[in-house]
């Protein structure tokens, strides 16, 4: 049986909002309603928004049960150090590693089931990164997939 989409989205959001870097909360702002970076004050960054971007129905047999592949995007904004000796990739890599670790939290080699709500949730696809070359404003878009099961 599939769980309600809202329950799944809320659980995924809670998991991501709890991301930490160096034992501290990673995000000053979180939400499930995306904003453009110009609307997120630098003092409220790093910011994370979860976007439900699509779905795919999968049914392997006629008259079978439908399993759903839900598509989400994690949108992250952060400001990087403007000093000419700073390396933006250091901050970017810390956030990518933290999201990766959060999605794989739990026993090694086991699926991320969002507390038993889904079959698996994971990062899949190309990660888009604007590294803030001109204005120190970084934006990242991380694709997630969630299989609901049947």
Residue scoring higher pLDDT (107 or 116): 116
Range of the domain at 75: 5-147
Question: Is the pTM of the predicted complex or chain greater than 0.85?
Answer: yes
Number of domains comprising the chain: 1
Mean pLDDT of the chain: 93
Closest CA to 49 of 38, 37, 34: 34
pLDDT for res 22: 94
In sequence order, what are the residues at sequence separation of 6 or more whose Cβ sits closer than 8 angstroms to the Cβ of residue 125? 143, 145
Percent of the chain with pLDDT over 90: 77
Helix (H, G, I), strand (E, B) or coil at 128: strand
Q: For the segment 47-104, what is each residue's pLDDT rounded down to a tens digit? A: 999 999 999 998 877 777 888 999 999 999 999 988 888 888 999 999 999 999 999 9
**CATH number, position 128:** 3.30.70.1700
């Amino acid at each position: 049986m599939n769980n309600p989409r809202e329950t799944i989205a809320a659980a995924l959001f809670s998991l991501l909002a709890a991301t930490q870097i160096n034992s501290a909360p990673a995000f000053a702002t979180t939400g499930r309603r995306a904003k453009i970076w110009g609307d997120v004050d630098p003092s409220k960054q790093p910011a994370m928004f979860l976007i439900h971007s699509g779905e795919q129905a999968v049914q392997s047999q006629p008259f079978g049960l439908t399993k759903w592949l839900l598509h989400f995007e994690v949108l992250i904004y952060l400001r990087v150090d403007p000093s000419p000796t700073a390396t933006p990739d250091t901050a970017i890599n810390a956030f990518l590693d933290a999201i990766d670790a959060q999605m794989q939290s739990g026993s090694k080699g086991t699926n991320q089931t969002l507390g038993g709500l889904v079959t698996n949730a994971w990062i899949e696809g190309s990660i888009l990164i604007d590294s803030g070359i001109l204005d120190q404003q970084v934006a990242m878009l991380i694709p997630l997939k969630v299989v609901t099961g049947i």
